[in-house]
Amino acid sequence: MPAPSRRGFLKAIGAGAGALVIGAHLPLPALAADAAPKIVGPADPRPQLFVIVAPDNTVTVLAKHLDMGQGIVTGLATIVAEELDADWAQLRGAFAPADGKLYANHFFGLQGTGGSTAVANSWDELRMAGAAARAMLVAAAAARWTVPAGEVTVAKGVVRHAASNRSFTFGELAEEAAKLPVPQQVKLKDRKDYVLIGKPDLHRLDHVSKTDGTAVFAMDIRRPGQVTAVLARSPRFGGTVKSVDDAAARKVAGVIEVVTLPVGVAVIAKNSWAAIQGREALKVTWDDAKSEMRGTDAMLADFRKLADRPGAVAAGKGDADKAIADAAAKGGHVVEGDYVFPYLAHAPMEPLNAVVALNPEGGCTIWAGSQFQTVEQMAVAGVLGCKPEQVRIETQWAGGSFGRRATTNADYIVEAAMIAKAYPKAPVHLVWTREDDIKGGRYRPLVLHRIKAAVDSKGAIVGWKQRIVGQSFMAGTPFEAVMVKNGVDATMVEGASDMAYPVPNLAVDAHTAASPVTTLWWRSVGHTHTAYAKEVTIDRLAKAAGKDPVAFRLEMLKDHPRLAGVLKLAAEKAGWGQPLPKGKGRGVAVHESFNTFVAHVVEVTVGDKGQFKVDRVVVAVDCGEVVNPDIVKAQMEGGAGWGIGHALRGEITMTDGLVDQGNFDGYLPMRMSDMPAVEVHIMPSHERPTGAGEPGVPTVAPAMANAVFSVTGQPLQTLPFSRGGIVS
Amino acid sequence: MISINVNGEVRQVDVPDDMPLLWVLRDELNMTGTKFGCGVAQCGACTVHVDGTPTRACQTPVGMLTAESKITTIEGVKGKAAQAVQAAWQKLDVVQCGYCQSGQIMSAIALLTDNQNPTDQDIDTAMDGNVCRCATYVRIRAAIKDAAQTMRA
């Protein structure tokens, strides 16, 4: 395989010859007993490379997953270091090369990061890799000392023979250990012996480089002779280039070339400023024949019309209509209404960008915060007419993603490759400006939920009808075959069609609305709206039934101990039930997403006109065995800020097909003064680890809405709340 | 040629007067610790110090600076406040994606240089111009308080 050779790769990361390089090319043992997720992907054994013990006594863990802030490089290193019995101080992190055969995400069958899968997906193979490396170091020491391997111990990066009081560092054994056969069977540690996993005091591996300015993001790549490109794209979704007048652009000092491509008009310049100035001087006429010309108000009106008709069935049992009618007739209560969720941009702090250099032997090298390496390799191969494995990717630290970098067609990487193909003389750095990002689509879809539900006279939910209207970002992509079944995009209805509350008569259906506006998964995907619509409705039903919101939920979650567990934990830590001063309210929400269970209790102060301020956020999370508690805590803090910030003010709107927002002065981000205190409580668990990057998002906004509802009695059904005038 | 003083070194750059300092630092001097986030002084990722004052490099045309203006970037920041802030950031593992953190740290250093006992309100005022999309704000606030305590000790 012409992908990075083992030797080349070792050289690239400075390990050199004589390093012990270990891949978990061991058969996955029978770990299924603890409810392993379904493993797909290439068959084992695989010659994977995960651990490099170098003669300089460093241990480098190669992360096949992108670190976009969620701390996965640290997480993966922790798993390896535990089984290796390394000293945390000797651990280093590096990104693995792009190779879908060696580094597939077992949940996807291709190399990629998403769905909060990274720890769950790497847990087995990295424990084995660490244990195998440890066994080889032990064997090397035992041979050197001519003692039985059973007498050799390892702790904190030191290999020891106690009886003779001799020891080696890992580095001293690296070269010899590398020559030994990889053991085909390894014994994994008992969790009671963990010294790193689950410990709160490990520092992130990137905490120094990200505080002294030395961490390198794709935006910071500077290749010899590199030029910078910005791209003029259609201001309307679906538009194409009709004609270009680039005379003025070419006169801008520093502009080198202007090229028209299927994706827009690229201005290539000596530096970013010249490229941006050059683009401003371009005169492009766009063909809007296939463009979205509606504004978001018109689109929403169309969604409401669609919601009057039955959609494709996502879940159905019993007879929801009859149950709701019966409840209404027999002393029960019905709640209904539309819930509206706006388009939302991801707006990662590092604007999208990638450097592409064509390789003399064919193919190219890409430097990017690459999240779907295999998809990018295939898409770029299509552009360049080369083989996917000729597309090398040097994955860099990513300045946020929130889903944006995991595109189904490698959009911005393809743009960069097209420009590099058109201008092969130098490495090309395609830079998106913030305006490109905010106006550039791939939004969390505009979504409408129409819900009608009823409790009977005893206060039990007897019927629930829910219709969801939105765009599918899976339709027309390679993911469609897996994600869209019977006309229903699973990512549109997840969290609704499979809700845990045992409603005897349930009808959930969905309409997929078509538009050229591009949409994409956005941190916690469908759960960003389904959890909100569900949990706000539950509070409305609880109120109608005269029940306490926590007690109401707990009654229904008897068969869901982990959901009930986090709900009880959050409620207890928040002091649920304790009286609050007038004008203050408490709200709760609980939800499962990505196999992780989260509950939020939010406290608010509400003013005379319904305007409110968030005072306190309490979150309880159960994500199974916790590798790095402090990182889980950080993800819950950040997830709360993400959820609150967008619920308060986040929205992308369009007028006549043109996006109204362009930067952070229009698309308003969460700022310091909005951020409440966040208390995180982690449920102790021995279950298999699950994700933490996304599950902290879905419940915070509905808990906040329910807190306001507890004071005002008015459910908040339209996001963002700034639309209702209750947020400044 | 324009002369600017960056981190105590005089540097000559051959760029137009209206080129923002941000691009001079990043593209001409290859000092990439200062980040491009919005280009319109809305996010603070490009914050540097000009004569000690936190300044958005993306909205500072290089021609406005004089050879006497002392520009400090994340690569060259030093002193008691800088040490305390960077140590607190590391102690509390503030960073997530890290892209905004150079700017956050430059704003925090400026705050603590002037005020070694900031209230929450002071922190809001000094830091509201620095966006963190990962919402590390809880830890930024804690780290500023931790650094302030170090400086007062």
Domains of chain B by residue range: 2-72, 80-152
Residue A29 is predicted with a pLDDT of 36
d(C-alpha B110, C-alpha A15), whole Å: 40
For the CA atoms of A169, A175, A180, A184, what is the dihedral angle to 10 degrees? 60
Contact residues on chain B for A214, CB-CB shorter than 8 A: 33
- Identify the band that residue A483 occupies on the pLDDT scale cut at 50, 70 and 90: confident
- The per-residue pLDDT for range A64-86, each reduced to its tens digit, is 999 999 999 999 999 999 999 99
Question: CATH class for domain B2-72?
Answer: alpha beta
B84-143 residues touching A, CB cutoff 8 A: 86, 89-90, 93-102, 105, 123-124, 127-128, 130-141
Mean pLDDT, rounded, for A563-586: 97
- Chain A residues 621-650 within an 8 A CB cutoff of chain B: 630-631, 634, 637-642, 645
Name the A residues in 313-352 with CB < 8 Å from any B CB.
347-351
Q: How far apart are CA A393 and CA A383, in angstroms?
A: 15
Q: How many CB pairs under 8 A join A and B?
A: 179
d(CA A488, CA A311): 9
Q: Which band of pLDDT confidence, cut at 50, 70 and 90, is reported for residue A184?
A: confident
Average pLDDT over residues A487-514: 96
Q: What is the mean pLDDT of residues A299-307?
A: 98
Distance CA A225, CA A404 (A): 29
Reported as a pLDDT band with limits 50, 70 and 90, residue A22 is low
pLDDT band at A475 (very low <50, low <70, confident <90, very high): confident
Instruction: Give me the pLDDT at residue A18, please.
Output: 60
Task: Compare A29 and A229 and report the one with higher pLDDT.
Answer: A229
Is B43 an 8 Å CB contact of chain A?
yes
Q: What is the mean pLDDT of residues A141-158?
A: 98
Interface contact flag, B139 A398, Cβ < 8 Å: no
Tell me the pLDDT tens digit for each residue of A594-608: 999 999 999 999 999
DSSP H/E element including A249: helix A247-251
**Res A537: pLDDT:** 98
Q: How far apart are CA A222 and CA A235, in angstroms?
A: 30
CB contact under 8 A, A213 and B74: yes
pLDDT at A33 over 80: no
Give the span between the Cα atoms of A319 and A330, in whole angstroms: 16
Rounded to whole angstroms, the Cα distance separating A615 from A624 reads 29
Cis peptide before A424 (omega within 30 of 0): no
DSSP A501: S
What integer is the mean pLDDT of A31-47?
31
Collapsing DSSP to helix, strand or coil, A343 comes out as: strand
pLDDT given for residue A20 in this prediction: 64
Confidence of residue A21 (pLDDT cuts 50, 70, 90): low
pLDDT for A34 beyond 50? no
Enter the DSSP assignment of A473: S
Q: Find the mean pLDDT for residues A486-502.
A: 95
Whole-number pLDDT of residue A13: 35
Contact B40 A663 (CB under 8 A): yes
Q: Is the pLDDT of residue A11 over 60?
A: no
> What are the strands, taking DSSP E only, across A607-667?
612-622, 654-655, 658-659
Q: pLDDT tier at A215 (50, 70, 90 boundaries)?
A: very high
Check residues A22 and A365 and name the one with the higher pLDDT: A365
Look at A45-49, A392-396, A476-480 and tell me which has the smallest mean pLDDT: A45-49
**Does B14 reach chain A within 8 Å, measured CB to CB?**
no
Q: Residues of chain A with pLDDT > 90: what percent?
A: 85
Average pLDDT, integer, range B30-40: 98
DSSP A443: B
pLDDT-derived band at A479 (thresholds 50, 70, 90) equals: confident
Specify the domain boundaries for CATH 3.30.365.10 within chain A.
Answer: 6-193, 218-289+352-431, 296-344+443-724
* Residue A148: CB atoms within 10 Å: 9
Angstrom distance (rounded) from CA A22 to CA A12: 17
- Specify the CATH architecture of the domain A296-344+443-724: 2-Layer Sandwich (3.30)
**How many residues are there in chain B?**
153
CATH 3.30.365.10 fits A218-289+352-431, yes or no: yes
Q: A6-193: what fold?
A: Aldehyde Oxidoreductase; domain 4 (3.30.365)
Query: Which A residues in the span 186-245 are in contact with B, Cβ-Cβ below 8 Å?
Result: 203-204, 206-217, 219-220, 222, 228
| CATH code of the domain made up of B80-152 | 1.10.150.120
Kindly state the tokens that stand for A509: 């259906």
